[in-house]
Amino acid sequence: MRRRPDGFGQLLSAIMSQQVSVASAAAISKRLEDAGLIDESAVASATEEELRACGLSRQKIRYAGELARARIDYVALRQAETHHVIKTLTAVPGIGTWTAEIYAMFSLGRPDVFAPGDLALQIATQHLFELDARPSEKELRAIAKRWSPWQSVAARLLFAYYRTIKGREGL
């Protein structure tokens, strides 16, 4: 399976992608890259005005700074247990469980991670299993447990299925 890079830049991109369209997130990421604001030291020393010029909201400016100051040991995360990865990442303001699970799945290549809070996964599961209602995060987490130890594979298949039924890109 294809993997995304790991590290600060990927988590920054994930934060920028929260609650915005794929196109908006890509535009923000491009502006950050063009401004040279893609590593910890550059983001930590950037002014609020520089970050705002790239399209970041006040809240995302705060989260980007928190991530830059967190000084996460990304190399150590590669070897850490998944629960430790999620605990480490969610300790940083702006990184929730969904972001940590997506990072573990796509950047660290963990085979047994699922992000049940993802809307695309909820919709795809509802459609695939012909459920009357979209499963809640708690319900989808219980469903996904049955796919262990390959929950990430199931998630990737559901993401692909979502793109097919909706005719658009998800993750």
Residue 157 pLDDT: 96
Residue 168 pLDDT: 61
Residue 3 to residue 13: CA distance in whole angstroms: 15
Amino acid letter, 136? S
Residue 57 to residue 165: CA distance in whole angstroms: 32
Which candidate, 114, 122, 68, places its Cα nearest to that of 95?
68
The four Cα atoms 63, 33, 89, 92 give a dihedral, to 10 degrees, of -20
Mean pLDDT of 110-137: 97
What percent of the chain lies above the pLDDT cut of 90? 87
What percent of the chain lies above the pLDDT cut of 70? 97
Q: How does the average pLDDT of the chain come out, rounded?
A: 94
Residue 20 pLDDT: 84
Length in residues, the chain: 171
